[in-house]
Amino acid sequence: MHIKQRPADFKVEEIATPQTIGSGDYSLYRLEKQGRTTHDAMAIIRERWKIDARRVSVGGLKDRHAETTQHFSIYRGPQRKLTHPNLQVEWLGQIAEPFTSEQIAGNRFRIVVRAMLNLEAEAALSGVEEVRRLGVPNYFDDQRFGSATPSGEFFPKLLLLDKYDLALHLALTAPYDHERPDVKQEKKFLRQHWGNWEVLRDLLPRNRVIRFLAHHPDDWAGALQQLPTELRSLYLSAYQSHLWNRMLAGWLTTNLAKRELVYVPCRLQDLPMPKSLLNETSQELSDLRLPLHSARIKIADDDPVKPYFDRVLDEEEVTQSMFKLRGLRKLFFSKGDRAAWCMPKELKVRDDSDDLHRGKQKLTLSFTLPRGSYATLVVKRITRADIGTQEE
């Protein structure tokens, strides 16, 4: 079975609750795109309008392999529309503050699952009823873990262990699927000449980290802090998300019987999801919020979440204090928590013959999710299959 076979098979509409439109220094826009990442689309808009990146605020990132609608703001931006191949921008009006993720209530999805056998489609229709009744665990999905190596290594884990040289090597040289040829070539140079910073500086003159190491060859902490801010944040949040998933999985496998669980294939681990719940357990999960691992989070010894939080630390062979990342003032793990459960709203399904695959079925799913929840996980739970996900 397939999703995202065509951009029109995966539609996402951002549900925004912006401030009152009327007056203010910030122009609010609606962006419709397909076949482009949010980063790519914003780069085109900034170039066309000659806008400095610091004036732009985007609430969230939307998938490249989809038809998407989202919002953004520009400080004193132009009050006009923009049309570009696979990209349209509409000016909505003026607001007093920049548009941020806090003004996103959720996202509305329409997803077509293709190339299904009759038995797969029948099983998925049963899955729809289970999800309608129970909801789904609010795991992070594979898109979150693009910075993990193919073998499942995370750069921040080495930071916790004070192995800064190995962490930097992993961050700069680890190979990934679907890399551009120029990125592959750069990583090849880095692996071949690692430690010979002057040679690498000549080969990669625009690499800020290498330029730093050419002048400070033993300052690994300083070199790590030369990584782009966005990249540093992505690496650390991906590791936190991975630990959070394992914490929720631990809660479910501890509190539910094996017969009550179904396992959904994901890139880093198969994730347990309930196929039945007692009313009291359902209520407990609806109320449950789990913290992200951080040195700044404080959990009382009698907090029922603490055993699951600590178990993940024990499995990783690290301690909570290691998350302080001493000596790395520009790298820090964010403090926060996340709802353990997600209830898709307005979940509907239509079963048809697949017009692209003779003799196969397709399912068209539509539903709404709160901000930060993953539609691809809902589809995986419904189909109980590894339908694959693609990163921005």
Instruction: Enumerate the domain spans of the chain.
Output: 1-135+344-392, 143-176+227-342
Question: Does residue 209 sit in helix, strand or coil?
Answer: helix
- What pLDDT does residue 387 have? 57
Give phi and psi for 281, each to the nearest 5: -70, -40
Of 69, 45, 67, 48, residue with least CA distance to 56: 45
Of 26, 16, 30, residue with least CA distance to 97: 26
Residue-by-residue DSSP string for 210-246: HHHHHH-TT-HHHHHTTS-HHHHHHHHHHHHHHHHHH
E runs forming strands in 96-212: 104-116, 136-137
Of 76, 80, 72, 68, residue with least CA distance to 14: 68
E runs forming strands in 99-215: 104-116, 136-137
**How many whole angstroms separate alpha carbon 347 and alpha carbon 338?**
22
**Neighbour count for residue 152 (Cβ, 10 Å):** 11
Hey, CA dihedral for 31, 35, 39, 41, is it positive or negative? negative
Question: Does residue 172 sit in helix, strand or coil?
Answer: helix
Is residue 70 within 8 Å of 14, Cβ to Cβ? Answer: yes
Q: What pLDDT tens digit does each residue of the chain (392 aa) get?
A: 888 888 899 999 999 986 788 889 999 999 999 988 898 999 999 999 999 999 999 998 888 889 999 999 999 999 999 999 999 999 999 999 999 999 999 999 999 999 999 999 999 999 999 999 999 999 999 989 988 888 889 999 999 999 999 999 999 998 887 788 998 999 999 999 999 999 999 999 999 999 999 999 999 999 999 998 888 888 999 999 999 999 999 999 999 999 999 999 998 999 999 999 988 999 999 999 999 999 999 999 999 999 999 999 999 999 999 999 988 888 889 999 999 999 999 999 999 999 999 999 999 999 999 999 999 999 999 998 655 544 44
Kindly report the pTM of this predicted structure. 0.90
- What pLDDT does residue 151 have? 85
**How many whole angstroms separate alpha carbon 369 and alpha carbon 108?**
7
Q: Which two tokens stand for residue 115?
A: 């190339």
Q: How many angstroms separate the first and last alpha carbons of the chain?
A: 21
- Scanning the structure block, which residue is given the tokens 């610091």? 54
Give 65-76 pLDDT, tens digit per residue.
Answer: 899 999 999 999
Is residue 196 within 8 Å of 206, Cβ to Cβ? Answer: no
Question: Does residue 202 sit in helix, strand or coil?
Answer: helix
- What pLDDT does residue 18 have? 67
Q: What class is the 1-135+344-392 domain?
A: alpha beta
Give phi and psi for 284, each to the nearest 5: -60, -40
